[in-house]
Amino acid sequence: MLLTGTGFAVIAVKESYDSSTGYVVHSDVPMMCYRALIRLLHRILFGLKVVCKVFHLLFTLIPLSLATLLSCGPHPLLSKDTVYTMLRKSLISLGPCWIKWGQWAATRADIFSPEFCSNLGRLHNYVYQHTWYYTELALNTQLPEWADILRLDKHPLHSGTVAQIYRGVLTRPGKEEATVAVKVLHPNIRTSMDVDLALLKVGAWLFECLPGMQWLAPVRAINNFSQTMLPQLDMTVEFNNLLKFRENFADVPQVIFPVPYLATPDILIESFEESVPISYIVETSSTDTRRRVGRIGIDLFLKMVFVDNLIHGDLHPGNLMVSREDNNKVIVLDVGMTVSLQQHQQDMLYPLFKAIALGSYTEVCEMLLAGAPTNNCLDQDLFIQEMAELVENVAGTPIKLRELDVSVLIGQFLAMLRKHHVQLETNFTSTIMSVLIVEGLGRSLDPDLDILKTALPYLLPSPTISCEADVF
């Protein structure tokens, strides 16, 4: 039986039941041997790829390690900027998985230093492109009739670590033509990810065996990274995420998510949204427009967190745009990675926001310590005392973005967690880091926006009810 559009064939194997042994007996023994041989060859090939990648790692990491040593000490021979540049280039040379790891690590300010996170954050600007040959191969394999319904510009509009995007026109029977964006996965990326994730897990296990490294829980961190990464390699996941976000924001005309038309594991076809960067609005629009866009950006994030519990997991300036046709509308792109907080994580997030506004810090500290997946805090009283001092600096007074640098505040909070060896869960950290993006948006568009007053309706006992009158 041939499965259309997949290129795979399923061959029936005759079976019979042996009542004396209770086993299913395959009469087609040669076919079983053939399949076993194919599996063996796949394992051998995978093993060879792992060996090749190990050598690649050695040739890449040994010079990086030497450079790191030369940057240490009272009289360093190399600057830290040089070492971080080498680190970024090394991750890029190692492939998509390592680039994604660097981007993910840049969001884990509860584990790594601000300088480390800031430098790895530049990997978000990395662009890798594959040729039209691979795009056409993916289309022919998974959408054999694509030429009948789709006209594509062969030059990609944008390319990222996982996929690249083309502009095209979709033709549907009985409907008007639609301008679309077509996202196509990079070739062989799944195999590359499998090899790299296997090596990362081995490396994490070895690292965790070192004295004093247990609190970092590298094995758990890599497992979390894997869970974050793998859904992005299936375009049907992003298709479904778009449906959910569009449903959640159906009554919010100021927020636009692309319309998903069609998806296969390697291809996503969605509506093309004409947009401009936030920086364009900052430079060219009136004060009132900037304020409205800033409020929309903060409200959409707060709604994701406190009302819908479906949060965009990769909020950076490239994924938050403004409609070219209407500058009072925000367009949200690239929703392949999402975060949903579990109940105990929500129970920590609400008090954390309230603590900044109201100064009720003791209970929050105790919840952070109790809920932390890795907690090697040696002096809990000192942790609570330092957290109290941090919160008391901003509690009880009206806080505006001009007066309060939220990114600095959160940076101090995460530095305190690192100092006391208290690690947050990945979903919780991703949400906290998204606050930094929203804070940056608010600061650039409207420095006078009172962020705590904006968040307060979401923190009331019934956020779903209390927000309806105030959101957007």
Q: Assess contact for 305 and 311: CB atoms under 8 A.
A: yes
Q: So what's the pLDDT on residue 15?
A: 47
**CA angle (119, 124, 128) in 5-degree steps:** 120
Q: So what's the pLDDT on residue 370?
A: 66
Cα distances (Å, whole numbers) of residue 185 to 155, 165, 235, 236, 268: 15, 9, 8, 12, 9
Q: Side chain identity at 225, as an amino acid letter? A: F
If you count DSSP H runs as helices and E runs as strands, how many of each does the chain have, helices first?
18, 16
Q: So what's the pLDDT on residue 375?
A: 64
Identify any residues that bridge with 322 across adjacent strands, giving them in sequence order: 276, 330
Three-state secondary-structure class, residue 159? strand
Q: What is the pLDDT along the chain (472 residues), one digit of tens a residue?
A: 333 333 333 334 444 444 444 444 445 557 677 777 778 887 888 778 888 888 888 888 888 889 888 888 788 888 888 999 999 988 888 888 788 888 777 766 666 777 888 888 788 777 778 999 999 999 999 999 899 999 999 999 988 888 999 999 999 888 889 999 999 999 988 888 888 888 888 888 887 777 766 666 677 777 877 877 788 899 999 999 999 999 999 999 999 999 999 999 999 999 999 998 877 777 777 888 888 888 888 888 889 988 899 988 877 777 888 998 888 899 999 998 888 887 777 777 776 666 655 555 666 666 666 666 666 777 777 877 777 776 666 554 444 444 555 556 666 777 777 777 776 666 666 676 676 667 666 767 777 776 666 777 776 654 443 344 354 5
State residue 177 phi and psi, 5-degree precision.
-65, 145
Rounded-to-integer distance, Cα 185 and Cα 163, Å = 4
Q: So what's the pLDDT on residue 394?
A: 54
Q: Assess contact for 311 and 319: CB atoms under 8 A.
A: no
DSSP H helical ranges for 360-425: 362-371, 380-392, 406-419
The overall pTM is greater than 0.85: no
